[in-house]
């Protein structure tokens, strides 16, 4: 059986529980009594706190701890020498591993061999202690000499978990993949792929018939993968999957008498899940056989609240050892799982000691104090009433005072205009420190360029970086705020160019500003084209409207008198009738004259023809 390594872990026999918090303090509790047994604080617990730890049991001869002088004279019995010592190995951020002996409550040694943060440690009774670090190396330690026994490179990825097989012949390391190493040759046997993120827990299993398996879990996978450690099979896919609703933080495994694998998983949500796995080929993701949760007592509070399970361990008698509550004072309990339901809820009180203290009756009587009590003391004099100050003057806000000063300065002659910049610089400095949007907006809307230059000139260099950040926010706005920001940026560059050029992080400060300017300039051609098209359309519309106004020449209102119009109409009709009659008479007379002339012509022609006929007859 093996467990996942983290900053809180049970001992192999389940008698002790060790935890190292973010404060760097190692605390060890006795699980049978629930009392804090030991507490150890390193000298470097703040600069290099503990990040991983594990339990290991070694004989007295396995370590080089020097006994006390008075203990040398006393002979130790055979049973005393054979009793293993419980040691907690703590890996820190400075790359060192501290060995803390729980029997003597002291540090027995320190292992130094990593150049980076220790990311994983594991212990095996057969082969010893292994550790991995940010320097991409795995070290096999020699505890007798507190030195390095073997060191090899793990790969290009950071190793976050380690586990030794039950036979002690191979080592499993977890990165984004699970690597299977041969400890005799330190060569890679096989790589198991299938995790999307860093592997956080590894647990090895040895079946009674000889086959070996490893259980791995990673952040965000939603399941645990079971891999077969068989170098003869080329298949690298998991033989089984255990479905979870959250990431696993602790895994404990035990083998039943029926050769059934029992897996206990603790998730980040504070619940425990029990799986029963029988190796019979690949199958669908297995669901937990039992879900265990701890809830607070209903009588204590109005609503039921969950008490998180910190860690758990499977014991040899198939029971569960739970640690729940808070790390300040965890509660330990051994329970028997009930498989009659899929969910087993344990209702417990959060803190029994506080409840017992509330039930105790205090024998100390409290002093009864009445409301109308007057305290007298020598030299006590009557305090004078507080003087009411006028609402004007000192009760005005600093913003209003500076605005008044700026107004007075604006009315002063041109030679005293520098005071405006000084007053506004103080107001701007106050706005930058307090992040007051009202003050900053009242300052940035200034359109007078001389006032802007004077304000920037009076501004201290410590306020330049906050001012650049505020101007960057203004540039992200629309056209009006962008124009304001450009005006202030121009004045800032002219006044403090030397200071800005001396800054090492100049590109970090002006990088967002340059990107915003490039983005706005990229849109400028399209906006100019749009402006031209809109101006053409609006020009045509205005020209059409003007032409329509020119064509309209009628009067808006015409008034006609009805009487005068009728008289004028009658007179005009009479005149027209008389003129038409005269015209007709003249035309008829002319026609008569024309007819008479035509008749005369015909008569003349007839007489002439008769005369000719007479002449011809006479001549004949």
pLDDT digits (tens, 9 = 90+) for 48-92: 888 899 999 887 655 544 444 444 444 444 444 456 788 999 999
Contact status, residue 324 vs residue 308, Cβ threshold 8 Å: yes
pLDDT at residue number 30:
94
Helical packing angle, 464-475 and 506-551, nearest 10° = 40
Q: Does 566 fall in a domain?
A: no
Position 179 scores a pLDDT of 94
**Sites in the chain below the pLDDT cut of 50:** 1-5, 64-81, 353-363, 377, 379-381, 391-394, 409-419, 571, 617-620
CA distance 270 to 308: 4
List the beta strands (DSSP E) in 125-174: 128-133, 137-142, 147-153, 161-164, 170-174
Q: Note the pLDDT of residue 65.
A: 45
Q: Which two tokens stand for residue 214?
A: 């490893």
DSSP code per residue over 412-452: S-GGGTHHHHHHHHHHHHHHHHHT-HHHHHHHHT---HHHH
Please give the residue range of the domain that contains residue 459: 421-544
Q: Taking a C-beta distance cutoff of 8 angstroms, is the pair 110, 144 a contact?
A: no
Beta strands in 43-146 (DSSP E): 50-58, 85-92, 96-101, 106-112, 118-124, 128-133, 137-142
Instruction: Annotate 443-506 with three-state secondary structure.
Output: HHCCCCHHHHHHHHHHCCHHHHHHHHHHHHHHHCCCHHHHHHHHHHHHHHHHHCHHHHHCCCCH
Q: Which residue in the block uniquely carries the two structure tokens 């005393």? A: 80
Q: How far is residue 445's CA from residue 452's CA, in Å, rounded to a whole number? A: 10
Domain tally, the chain: 1
With respect to residue 569, please indicate whether it lies within any of the assigned structural domains: no
Phi then psi for 192, rounded to 5 degrees? Answer: -105, 120
Q: Identify the pLDDT of residue 582.
A: 55
Residue 457 lies in a domain: yes
Tell me whether residue 516 is in a domain.
yes
Task: Output phi, psi for 593, to 5 deg.
Answer: -60, -40
**pTM of this prediction?**
0.55
Is 509 domain-assigned? yes
* Of the candidates 136, 109, 141, 111, the residue with the CA atom closest to the CA atom of residue 123: 141
Give domain status of residue 337, yes or no: no
427 inside domain: yes
Is residue 431 domain-resident?
A: yes
257: burial class by Cβ within 10 Å (0-12, 13-18, 19+)? Answer: exposed
Record the tokens describing residue 147, joined without a space: 């030195």
| 91, 128, 148, 373, 569 from 145: Cα distances, Å | 18, 13, 8, 75, 141
Give pairs for 135-141: CB < 8 Å, separation 24+: 135/95, 138/162, 138/171, 138/173, 138/181, 139/113, 139/114, 140/183, 141/97, 141/111, 141/113
The radius of gyration of the chain's CA atoms, rounded to the nearest angstrom, is 53
CATH number at residue 485: 1.25.40
User: Do residues 117 and 157 lie in contact, with contact meaning Cβ atoms separated by under 8 Å?
Assistant: no
Cα separation, 531 vs 537, in Å, equals: 10
For residue 275, the surrounding DSSP H or E stretch is: strand 272-277
Q: Which of 106, 135, 215, 201 is nearest to 162 (CA)?
A: 201
DSSP class of residue 550 equals H
DSSP SS3 for 35: strand
């Amino acid at each position: 059986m093996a467990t996942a390594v983290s900053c809180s872990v049970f001992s192999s026999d389940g008698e002790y529980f060790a935890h190292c918090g973010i404060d760097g303090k190692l605390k060890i509790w006795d699980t049978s009594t629930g009392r804090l047994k030991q507490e150890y604080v390193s000298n470097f617990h703040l600069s290099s706190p503990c990040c991983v730890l594990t339990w290991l049991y070694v004989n007295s001869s396995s370590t080089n701890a020097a006994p006390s002088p008075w203990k040398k004279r006393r002979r130790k019995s055979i049973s005393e020498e054979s009793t293993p010592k419980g040691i907690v190995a703590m890996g820190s951020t400075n790359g060192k591993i501290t060995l803390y002996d729980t029997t003597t409550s002291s540090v027995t040694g320190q292992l130094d061999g990593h150049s980076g943060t220790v990311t994983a440690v594991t212990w095996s009774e057969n082969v010893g202690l292994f550790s991995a670090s940010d320097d991409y190396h795995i070290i096999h330690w020699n505890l007798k000499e507190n030195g390095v026994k073997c060191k090899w490179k793990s790969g290009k990825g950071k190793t976050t978990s380690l586990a030794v097989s039950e036979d002690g012949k191979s080592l499993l390391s977890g990165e984004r993949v699970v690597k299977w190493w041969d400890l005799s040759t330190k060569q890679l046997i096989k790589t198991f792929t299938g995790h999307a993120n860093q592997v956080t827990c590894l647990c090895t299993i040895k079946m009674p018939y000889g086959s070996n398996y490893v259980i791995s879990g990673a952040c965000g996978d939603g399941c645990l993968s079971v891999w077969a450690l068989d170098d003869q099979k080329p298949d690298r896919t998991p033989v089984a999957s255990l479905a979870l609703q959250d990431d696993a933080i602790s895994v404990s495994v035990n083998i039943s008498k029926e050769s059934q694998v029992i897996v206990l998983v603790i998730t980040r949500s504070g619940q425990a899940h029990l799986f029963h796995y029988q190796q019979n080929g690949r199958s669908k993701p297995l669901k937990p056989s039992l879900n265990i949760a701890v809830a607070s007592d209903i009588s204590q509070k109005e609503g039921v609240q969950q008490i998180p399970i910190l860690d758990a361990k499977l014991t040899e008698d198939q029971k569960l050892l739970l640690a729940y509550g808070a790390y300040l004072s965890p509660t330990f309990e051994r329970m028997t799982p009930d498989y009659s339901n899929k969910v087993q809820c344990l209702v417990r009180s959060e803190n029994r000691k506080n409840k017992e203290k509330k039930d105790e009756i205090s024998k100390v009587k409290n002093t009864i104090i009445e409301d109308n009590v007057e305290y007298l003391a020598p030299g006590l004099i009557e305090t004078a009433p507080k003087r009411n100050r006028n609402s004007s003057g000192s009760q005005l806000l600093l913003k209003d005072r500076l605005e008044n000063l700026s107004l007075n300065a604006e009315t002063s002659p041109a030679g005293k205009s520098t005071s405006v910049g000084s007053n506004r610089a103080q107001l701007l400095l106050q706005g930058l420190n307090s992040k007051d949007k009202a003050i900053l907006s009242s300052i940035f809307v200034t359109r007078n360029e001389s006032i802007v230059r004077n304000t920037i000139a009076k501004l201290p260099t410590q306020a330049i970086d906050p001012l650049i950040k505020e101007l960057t926010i203004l540039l992200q706005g629309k056209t009006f705020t962008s124009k304001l920001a450009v005006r202030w940026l121009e004045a800032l560059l002219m006044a403090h160019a030397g200071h800005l050029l001396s800054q090492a992080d100049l590109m970090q400060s002006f990088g967002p500003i340059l990107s915003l300017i490039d983005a706005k300039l990229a849109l400028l051609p399209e906006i100019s084209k749009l402006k031209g098209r809109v101006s053409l359309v609006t020009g045509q519309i205005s020209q059409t409207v003007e032409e329509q106004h020119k064509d309209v020449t009628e009067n808006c209102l015409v008034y006609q008198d009805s009487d005068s119009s009728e008289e004028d109409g009658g007179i005009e009709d009479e005149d027209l009738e008389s003129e038409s009659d005269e015209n007709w008479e003249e035309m008829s007379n002319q026609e008569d004259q024309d007819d008479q002339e035509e008749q005369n012509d015909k008569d003349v022609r007839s007489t002439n023809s008769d005369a000719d006929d007479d002449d011809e007859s006479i001549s004949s």
